[in-house]
Amino acid sequence: MRRTGLLFGIAAAAAGAYVFSRAREIAETEQRPLGEVLVEMPGRILEDLGTFGDDVREAADEGRTAGEREADWIDDDLAEADRPAEPADVEPDDEPTQ
């Protein structure tokens, strides 16, 4: 039981440190007093958690799109590599030797 309490305490301290750090960043960015931002942090956190599912879906869509784009580039590169060289592309030093 002591181990669980210790882990919970560490997690709570880490969460508190994160919230304070985030509040300080927001206060600096918005040029507002830190105390004012700290008071509204619970609402901001709940709002962020409410959009978490949408954020994950959007990130997955962006990853899928990036993967498809990269696959297209690789396919283009492979097609280019399979294309026979045209005479203008071959320099004299590139002639095959026997």
| Domain chopping of the chain, boundaries | 1-39, 51-81
Q: How many residues does the chain have?
A: 98
Question: What is the pLDDT at residue 90?
Answer: 57
H-assigned helices in the chain: 2-30, 34-50, 52-82
Asked if 24 contacts 34 with a C-beta cutoff of 8 angstroms, the reply is yes
pLDDT digits (tens, 9 = 90+) for 41-54: 989 888 888 898 99
Condensed to tens digits (0 to 9), the pLDDT of residues 61-86 reads 999 999 999 999 999 888 888 777 67
How many other CB atoms are there within 10 angstroms of residue 37's CB atom? 19
Does the pLDDT of residue 16 top 70, yes or no? Answer: yes
Mean pLDDT, rounded, of the chain = 86
Cβ(41)–Cβ(30) below 8 Å: no
Tell me the average pLDDT across 20-40.
Answer: 92
**Eight-class DSSP state of 95:** S
Please tell me the predicted confidence (pLDDT) of residue 21.
Answer: 92
